Amino acid sequence: MHGLQSLLATWKLALPVWKLYVPSVSTTSSIAEAQSKLAQLLEMAQAGHDVIIEDAHRGTARLVPVRKTPSHGSRIFGLHEGETWVSDDFDSPLPDSFWLGQEKE
């Protein structure tokens, strides 16, 4: 294998040459192609590349990675008890002057 073919073999991608896995390039696939190459498309999306799947009947979708948020440990119920307060009238209707943009007198 020479050049581009050996590069593709090294990256273990079975994508067509015109859909080469290159940083900052988006890849567009049909739904049939996406079904047959889902593992490679997921790998590309997880690496930060745009993967777009098109279906003539259902429209277009973008495959993006889901980032896990770091765990900060379990939450402790009542940890900040008494540090906040809510006014007794917090759910009362607001006066018309508020909705009309008028200042209080």
92 belongs to a structural domain: no
Neighbouring CB atoms inside 10 A of 41's CB total 23
For range 65-76, the mean pLDDT? 76
1 belongs to a structural domain: no
68 belongs to a structural domain: no
43 belongs to a structural domain: yes
Q: Give the Cα separation of 44 and 78 in Å (integer).
A: 43
Residue 10 has pLDDT above 80, yes or no: no
- The per-residue pLDDT of the chain, averaged, comes to 77
8 belongs to a structural domain: no
Contacts of 45 (CB under 8 A, 6+ apart): 51, 63, 64, 65
72 belongs to a structural domain: no
Residue 96 has pLDDT above 70, yes or no: yes
Question: How many domains does the chain fold into?
Answer: 1
Please give the pLDDT value at position 91. 93
Domain that holds residue 51: 19-63
Instruction: Express each pLDDT in 13-63 by its tens digit.
Output: 444 544 444 445 678 888 888 889 989 988 888 888 888 888 888 888 888
